[in-house]
Amino acid sequence: MSEIIDRKYIALLSPKLDRFKQTGRDSWNFRCPVCGDSKKSQIKARGYLFAKGGRVFYHCHNCQVSLSFNTLLKSMDESLYRDYLLDTFGPPKKQDPKITQDETKVDMNRFFKRELDIPRISELPVDHPAVMFLTKRKIPNKYFSELFYADDFKLFVDEFWPENNKKLLEQEHRIVIPFIDAAGSILGIQGRSLSNDGIRYITIKPNADSAKVFGLNRLDFDKTIYVFEGPFDSLFIDNGLATMDSALYTAPHIINHPNGDYVFVYDNEPRNKEVLKSMRKSIKLNQNIVIWPREVDGFKDANKMVEAGIDVTDIIKYNYFDGLHAELEFEKWRMT
């Protein structure tokens, strides 16, 4: 049923999609509304909708953003999105007068957790391996209450999301980094290994439509938002946010706040093709991006700089650029 409704709303949304065409029974093509596609060529269209497993998803082969169709619909037409919700779920049910307010809250918490049943880092002894790991990386102590620890990550994940099909190691210790929305609901988590061997980060997100963003619950949208790839990096500057991948330029769309004041802080990796590609995309979108100065050559990210005793706050605030200036500084940086 969901795919049938998706197809209906693809047709209704199509007049807003530049160069829209259906390319097959289960695929549609148009210019990407997220990145704008190519500015040099008005005929390039690299955004695709495709049906899979009874649902429809969106992917752009230019900016690499991937979304569910309903997320794309919401970002482009709120009115049409509300109609979509009515068609999908029907009108909101009236609350049974016999149900108390407390009972309603318990029912909601079945879907949106507000607490994890594992200890916070702040509750562990100072000689605990997880505390020592974060202390060595100079993570500010004030954030220890926002990070958790799972002695058996697989067991924790099975309790957090019983329906998961993840193949995880037994009795593996991990620091747990929660994705919390503005209302305080935990929408997903990331597990960070205490070792640099094997898989360092494992992301668990029960709802594919939820934003994979760390720090959303702490953001002040009236101030400059600093967007990083890594959660730990984002903790070294006020109003930091992490997207957990190098496509930082998609953050305004993901958090549904396109008109905010952003500074995009990419990793200091001039030989990393994905980082270079994403930085070029930010420059094309006229976003403010940090171009790291020569004094931090050799340090791959903000955390490594802080570990070396470098004050990244001042470096970030005095080394971001946009437009032509960003393009010139970027070319110099990538040649270092």
The backbone torsions φ and ψ at residue 37, rounded to the nearest 5 degrees and listed phi first, read: 60, -155
Of 43, 68, 89, which residue sits at a domain end? 89
pLDDT recorded at residue 114: 65
pLDDT in tens, 242-261: 998 888 999 998 887 888 99
Is 288 part of a structural domain of the chain? yes
Token pair listed for 306? 């802080």
Give the CA count within 13 Å in the CB-facing half-sphere of 276.
10
Residue with tokens 């794309």: 72
- Residue 97: pLDDT band (50, 70, 90) is very low
More reliable by pLDDT, 51 or 121: 121
67 & 157 share domain? no
Q: In terms of domains, do 129 and 220 share one?
A: no
**Domain boundary pick from 204, 234, 267:** 204
CATH of the domain at 30: 3.90.580.10
Rounded to an integer, what distance in angstroms lies between the CA atom of residue 3 and that of residue 76?
Answer: 19
Q: Are residues 221 and 327 in the same domain?
A: yes
In a domain, 251, yes or no: yes
99 in a domain, yes or no?
A: no
In order of 11, 253, 260, 290, the CA distances from 285 in angstroms are 28, 13, 14, 14
How far is Cα 213 from Cα 216, in angstroms, rounded to an integer? 6
* 292 and 325 within one domain: yes
3-state secondary structure (DSSP) of residue 227:
strand
Mean pLDDT across 67-88: 86
Query: Angle at the Cα of 32 (from 322 to 268), degrees rounded to 5?
Result: 40
pLDDT at 92: 57
Same domain, 242 and 299: yes
Whole-angstrom Cα distance, residue 64 to residue 47? Answer: 9
Beta strand 240-242 pairing with 225-228: parallel
Mean pLDDT of 28-40: 85
CATH code, domain with 304? 3.40.1360
Greater pLDDT, 35 or 2: 35
Examine residue 302 and state whether it is found in any structural domain, yes or no. Answer: yes
Is 290 in the same domain as 182?
no
Question: Domain range spanning residue 153?
Answer: 121-204
Q: Say if 101 falls within a structural domain.
A: no
Nearest to 287 by CA among 35, 31, 17: 35
Together in a domain, 60 and 126:
no
Answer yes or no: is pLDDT of 108 > 60.
no
Q: Does residue 19 register a pLDDT over 80? A: yes
Look at residue 186 and give its three-state secondary structure: strand
Q: What is the pLDDT of residues 147-156, one digit of tens each?
A: 999 999 999 9
- 310 occurs within a structural domain: yes
Single out the residue in 89, 106, 137 at which a domain terminates.
89
Calpha distance 208→26 (Å, rounded): 20
Strand partners for 192: 175, 201
CATH of the domain at 168: 3.90.980.10
Does some domain include residue 116?
Answer: no
Label residue 159 by pLDDT band (50, 70, 90).
confident
- C-beta of residue 148 within 8 angstroms of C-beta of residue 116: yes
pLDDT over 60 (residue 113): no
Q: Residue 18 carries which DSSP code?
A: T
Which amino acid is located at 284 in the chain?
Answer: K
pTM of the model: 0.69
Q: Are residues 264 and 321 in the same domain?
A: yes
How many domains would you assign to the chain?
3
Taking residues 30-59, what's their average pLDDT? 85
In a domain, 289, yes or no: yes
261 and 223 in a common domain: yes
Same domain for 136 and 76 = no
Residues 181, 229: one domain? no
Task: Say whether both 235 and 195 belong to one domain.
Answer: no
Who's near 307: CB < 8 A, 6+ residues apart?
A: 136, 137, 138
pLDDT of residue 65: 77
